Structure 1
Amino acid sequence: MTPLKTSLRHVLLLSRMELIDRHRENALGAAWLLIQPVSFIVLFVTVFSRFMRTRLGTDADPHLYTVYLIGGVLTWNLFANLLSRITPVYSAKAHLIRKINVDLWLMPLHIVIAEWVVYCITMAFFALFLLLIGFPIGAQWLLLPVVTLLLSAMAYGIGIVLGTLDLFIPDVKNVLNILLQFAFWLTPVVYLASILPPWAAKGMHFSPVFWAIDSVHEIVVWHRAPPPKELVALVGAAGASLAASRWLLGRLQSELRDML
């Protein structure tokens, strides 16, 4: 078996372990993979659609803000979860890295696979909810996986860079947690960018995460294809992130293995 096939086999095994271990100690086990998305949808439908829909400036559709919020939060959660789980992956899996010959750049893919399983389950319930309330799902939805895959690729690259640096600078994880909190509120996940001062709204257009969140809102809420410039920019950000992570890990891989 070639090294690449061996590494991919290990990635799939780790993905399975990641999903199983996540709820191993819970009485309902893997059922939580279904319970949590349903609870998430129900919470936003029953609470936010009633009390916060005026944020969109309309009372015509009681579910409009819910759709806006869920679309943004699901996308943000995928990005934030990937970053926060990939960053400590090398230190967390040090015992496995010492035992098996796995490509360190490919190994964190098991986190992406696990997070995408959860994301896809939640999106399936979200789509079902939209069908039940009569909210249209058009052909533009075919672009949704493209946007989220590009965002995931960007998070993957950034996560590997931070995960590599984390072994040399232990404060990286703590700084990341703070930055993610600020980034959440600096991104229009729960509000419209139009409510901000012009300079702040304009500044958001330089954020790759904004490009992804805005693209998802265009697709899900406003039934439009995202602006081509945002998709092109996401491709560039994802490519640059992956290239930087490959380069840095290649430069520091031997020192990284020594520290583990």
Structure 2
Amino acid sequence: MVSFRTSVDHVWLLARQELVDRHRENALGAAWLLLQPLAFIVLFSTVFSHFMRARLGADTDPYLYTVYLISGLLMWNLFANIVSRLASVYSGKAHLIRKIGVDLWIMPLHIVVAEWAVYAIAMTFFAVFLLVVGHPLSSRWFLLPAVVLLVSAFAYGIGIMLGTIDVFIPDVKNVLTIALQFGFWLTPVVYLADILPLWAQHAMHLNPVFWAVDAVHDIVVWHRWPPFKEIAALAATCAVSLVAGRALVGRLGAEVRDLL
């Protein structure tokens, strides 16, 4: 049995290694952790602020659509990256699991920690951009960490289940790639929800990721508090996701170790 303290140490060590390994073969190395989100902000602020402003009205702030797009994309990317990386976490760390017997429930947290670091860097650049273009940062930004925590917990539960199933059925990653593509376009990240038919708008409110993206749009773009019912529903969905993930790992953990 691995102690909790040892498991936490594993998480921090693996999270640091995860960030380093992503750009180990690049000449600039870890500098890409800063350059990629900076390039992301510059690209969308220069291109979409002028060519896509009509979506929010020609007389509005020219950067309003850019703010809408980037805030939603960063939240979606956080969710999608956590799920997709967790979907292969056990098979990808098979050598580690065989050698030191890590806790299968806690060890994958290093993926979440690494993605939080990437998200924090991107949001820092984004906040600076907002200040430069005169888009205010309201006190409601203090709610953002809670939204990030909830969507990460939801993604963790799903990712853990997929990662467990992936050990038995390797096709999971291919199916997930397609599912995330559909999920992206079914979530109002690059478009406004109100351009959809009324029935589609109602159906969209059944999507937990929509609740997170909509909350970020409310906080960052519109400077208002997100609907309490969406935050409460997201929290409830997170709890169900985590319980289901924990139960599946507990039930199949021994078989997972044997197959790896």
Tell me the equivalent position of 1:9. Answer: 9
- Equivalent-residue separation in structure 2 for 1:123 and 1:56 (angstroms): 22
- Equivalent-residue separation in structure 2 for 1:13 and 1:217 (angstroms): 34
Determine if contact 2:218/2:226 at 8 Å carries over to the other structure. Answer: yes
Matched positions, count: 260
- Specify the code of the residue in structure 2 equivalent to 1:191: Y
Structure 2 stretches lacking a partner, 5+ long: none
Q: Does 1:27 align with 2:27?
A: yes
Q: Deviations over 1:82-134 (max 9, x none)?
A: 01101000000000000112110001111111111010000000000111111
Determine if contact 2:2/2:101 at 8 Å carries over to the other structure. Answer: no
Determine if contact 2:204/2:210 at 8 Å carries over to the other structure. Answer: yes
Determine if contact 2:11/2:110 at 8 Å carries over to the other structure. Answer: yes
TM-score w.r.t. the length of structure 1 is 0.98
- Specify the code of the residue in structure 1 equivalent to 2:203: G
- Specify the code of the residue in structure 1 equivalent to 2:254: S
- Equivalent-residue separation in structure 1 for 2:2 and 2:115 (angstroms): 27
- Equivalent-residue separation in structure 2 for 1:45 and 1:9 (angstroms): 39
TM-score w.r.t. the length of structure 2 is 0.98
- Equivalent-residue separation in structure 1 for 2:94 and 2:44 (angstroms): 39
Aligned pairs for 1:94-113 within 5 A: 94-113=94-113
Tell me the equivalent position of 2:207. Answer: 207
- Equivalent-residue separation in structure 2 for 1:56 and 1:176 (angstroms): 32
Tell me the equivalent position of 1:198. Answer: 198
Tell me the equivalent position of 2:255. Answer: 255
Shift, 1:2, TM fit:
6.7
- Specify the code of the residue in structure 2 equivalent to 1:83: V
Shift, 1:53, TM fit:
1.0
Aligned pairs for 1:1-260 within 5 A: 3-260=3-260
- Equivalent-residue separation in structure 2 for 1:36 and 1:157 (angstroms): 28
- Equivalent-residue separation in structure 2 for 1:95 and 1:80 (angstroms): 25
- Equivalent-residue separation in structure 2 for 1:140 and 1:88 (angstroms): 35
- Specify the code of the residue in structure 1 equivalent to 2:177: N
Q: In the superposition, relative to structure 1, how do residues 58 and 237 fare at CA in structure 2: closer, same or farther (>3 Å)? A: farther
Identity across the alignment (%): 68
Shift, 1:219, TM fit:
0.3
- Equivalent-residue separation in structure 1 for 2:209 and 2:18 (angstroms): 26
- Equivalent-residue separation in structure 1 for 2:57 and 2:117 (angstroms): 34
Q: Deviations over 1:147-166 (max 9, x none)?
A: 11100000001000000011
2:168 match: secondary structure: coil
- Equivalent-residue separation in structure 2 for 1:14 and 1:59 (angstroms): 49
- Equivalent-residue separation in structure 2 for 1:120 and 1:249 (angstroms): 29
Q: Deviations over 1:155-185 (max 9, x none)?
A: 0010000000111111111110000000100
Shift, 1:60, TM fit:
2.3
1:13 match: secondary structure: helix
- Equivalent-residue separation in structure 2 for 1:13 and 1:128 (angstroms): 30
1:99 match: secondary structure: helix
- Equivalent-residue separation in structure 1 for 2:222 and 2:58 (angstroms): 14
2:62 match: secondary structure: coil
- Equivalent-residue separation in structure 2 for 1:131 and 1:18 (angstroms): 31
RMSD value over aligned CA atoms? 1.0
